[in-house]
Amino acid sequence: MMATMRQETETDEQRAAEATPEASPASRLRTSRDEAWAKPVDRVSVTAAAERAPADTVQGRKLSGPLQGFGRMWQKTFRVPLYGATLSPREVIAIWKAEFPAFWPKSAKFYAPLAGIAPGEVALLELKPLPGAPIKLSTGVMVIYADDESFTFMTPEGHTLSAWITFSAFEENGVTVAQAQALERPSDPLDELAYMLGGSKMNDRFWEQTLANLATRLGAGGVPVETQRVCIDKRRQWRQVGNLRHSASIDTMKRTATAPIRAMRRAVKRASDRR
C-alpha cells in the first residue's frame, strides 16, 4: 500500500514537473533586473564598512533625487570612446566597479563599502563644495541599481546635489564607450548659489577627469571626454527651501568651526584621565 502511494505521488510530481514550462529568457531577464534594484528604504543606514569618513551627514537621512531638489534641473552626460581598448562593456563595468575610488580626482575621496558597489550599499564621500574651498564636505551616496552593464547612485538629504547618476558602458560603431550620466538639481538655495558661482563647472571637470582616468586605466589614454549639458527644468522649486535644514555644507562648516573646541575638550579629558 505504502509503495503504491509513493509511486502515485512520484508520478504526480513527474507530471507536474513536465507540465511546468521552463522560465523564458524574458522572465529570467526580469528576475535578474529585479535583483539589481536596491530594496526600498525609509532611511539611509551606513554600515561599519565606511567608518573612515564622518557618517553623521548620511546616517538616518532620506534619499533625495532630482524631484526633491531646489534648483534648476540639469542632465549632464560625460562619455569617452575607448579607442584601442579590447574590453567588452561588461568587462569595463566590472573594472569600474572594482576600482571606482581610484578613478576619482585626488581632491576627493570615495569610501567604498566592503561589499563593493552592490544594490543597497552606501558609500561615504569627501568633496570640496567650491573651487579653492578650505574645507571638504562630508556626504554619501546609495547604490540603488547595479548589474553587469551599469550602476546608479542616488544622493541622500543634505548632499549638495539631489541627483541620480548612472555609470554604464556600451558598444557604438564597434567601439566600447564608457559613460556617466547625471540628472541633478542643487539641493537648496545655498547649493544653487554655489552651483552658479563655479560649482557646476567644477562638477563637470570632476567627472571629465574621472572618465579620463578610467580611459587611461583601460588603455585608451588621451581620448577626449565628450560632455553634454541640457537644462531639463529652469524652474526653482521654492517649496523645497526647507532642504537647508539637512545641508551637509552647513554641517561641515559647523564641524570645522568647532574643531578647536572639540580638540581642547579631548586634551582636557586626557589630562584628567592621567591624574
Condensed to tens digits (0 to 9), the pLDDT of residues 79-121 reads 999 998 999 999 999 999 999 999 999 889 999 888 899 999 9
How many domains does the chain fold into?
Answer: 1
In a domain, 4, yes or no: no
Higher pLDDT: 24 or 115? It is 115
- Range of 108's domain? 50-233
What CATH number corresponds to the domain at position 213?
A: 3.30.530.20
Looking at the predicted structure, is the pLDDT value of residue 9 above 50? no
Virtual torsion, Cα 72, 206, 92, 164, nearest 10 deg: -20
In a domain, 214, yes or no: yes
What integer pLDDT is reported at residue 133 of this predicted model?
63
What integer pLDDT is reported at residue 90 of this predicted model?
97
Higher pLDDT: 148 or 263? It is 148
In a domain, 203, yes or no: yes
Q: What is the DSSP letter of 53?
A: S
In a domain, 145, yes or no: yes
Residue that has been written with the C-alpha cell 562619455 in this structure: 79
In a domain, 181, yes or no: yes
In a domain, 126, yes or no: yes
Condensed to tens digits (0 to 9), the pLDDT of residues 218-250 reads 999 899 999 999 999 999 999 999 999 888 777
Q: Is 189 exposed, middle or buried (0-12, 13-18, 19+ CB in 10 A)?
A: middle
What integer pLDDT is reported at residue 53 of this predicted model?
66
What is the rounded average pLDDT of the residues 167-192?
Answer: 96
Q: Quickly state the pLDDT bin for 20 (edges 50, 70, 90).
A: very low
Looking at the predicted structure, is the pLDDT value of residue 167 above 90? yes
What integer pLDDT is reported at residue 52 of this predicted model?
65
Looking at the predicted structure, is the pLDDT value of residue 31 above 60? no
In a domain, 254, yes or no: no
Q: CA–CA distance from 249 to each of 13, 53, 137, 172 (Å)?
A: 63, 15, 6, 40
In a domain, 149, yes or no: yes
| Short-list 181, 147, 150, CA closest to 164 | 181
State pTM to two decimals.
0.80
> Mean pLDDT, the chain, as a whole number?
84
Q: At what angle do helices 259-274 and 248-257 cross, to 10 degrees?
A: 50
